Amino acid sequence: MTKVLLLVAHPDYENSVGNKTITIALAELPNVNVRNLADLYPDFKIDVAAEQKALLESDLIILQYPIYWYNMPPILKQWFDKVFAYGFAFGDGAKLTNKTIMASVTAGSPENSYPEGEMKRIMLPVKASAEFCKINYLEPLASYGIYSSPNQDEASKASVLASAQAHINKLITIITNYKF
Ligand SMILES: Cc1cc2nc3c(=O)[nH]c(=O)nc-3n(C[C@H](O)[C@H](O)[C@H](O)COP(=O)(O)O)c2cc1C
């Protein structure tokens, strides 16, 4: 069974709807190890050894986060900066070459506000990092129109939850069908 590492990076997880719904559902799967980075490292002091161990124990690394200003939240960037070290992620003794990585993201804007190919372009730093480290790269799974606001009506809340559920179903299909 594919061993999955779900790295959750949400600066305000408590108030998340999309990423929290997705994380809770994925945590139910026996082969998914969830690491909630903002929870583990509120001070941004990443335990590099623990993160590297979790990576070595996984086959498929899923980066789960909301798109913030067309980018990843800072805790995930900090994770890359600290964990993807020389001798571990690249260079002599690189250890991630048989792994696969994929971003699983939520975006507040509707899909039609993203020009064709835009999400793939936003992901280029993840893709280039994967290629640099000789990690297999899967194109991102993105769900759009996922947001919450104080004045949100019931129909809009229901639509967000339906999108999150559709995202969960797609993620489970990817995990189940992916062959290494
Ligand atoms: C600081 C900030 C920046 C954001 N930037 C974007 C953006 O660039 N594109 C977009 O589609 N949504 C953007 N959003 C909306 C978030 O992507 C959306 O709130 C999130 O995906 C909802 O997931 P959640 O329920 O897990 O919080 C932004 C939200 C915040 C708070």
pLDDT at residue 179, rounded to an integer:
80
Which pTM value belongs to this model? 0.98
Let me know the angle formed at the C-alpha of 124 by 119 and 125, rounded to the nearest 5 degrees.
125
pLDDT at residue 178, rounded to an integer:
86
Task: Sketch the domain layout of the chain as residue ranges.
Answer: 4-177
pLDDT at residue 180, rounded to an integer:
66
Which residue, judged by its Cα, is nearest atom 8 of ligand 1? 69
pLDDT tens-digit series, residues 16-48: 999 999 999 999 999 999 999 999 999 999 999
Atom of ligand 1 nearest to the CA of 113: 11
pLDDT tens-digit series, residues 116-155: 999 999 999 999 999 999 999 999 999 999 999 989 999 9
| Over residues 153-173, mean pLDDT | 97
Give, for ligand 1, the residue of 8, 147, 148 to mutate: max count of ligand atoms closer than 8 Å to Cβ. Answer: 147
| 64 within 8 A of 101, measured Cβ to Cβ | no
Which residue, judged by its Cα, is nearest atom 18 of ligand 1? 108
Pocket of ligand 1, beta carbon within 6 A? 10, 16-20, 66-70, 106-109, 146-148
Q: Is 35 helix (H, G, I), strand (E, B) or coil?
A: strand
Dmax over CA atoms of the chain, in Å, equals: 55
Atom of ligand 1 nearest to the CA of 15: 27
The CATH classification number of 4-177 equals: 3.40.50.360
| 79 within 8 A of 9, measured Cβ to Cβ | yes
Number of H helices, E strands in the chain: 7, 5
| Over residues 59-85, mean pLDDT | 98
Give the Å distance between the CA of 126 and the centre of ligand 1. Answer: 18
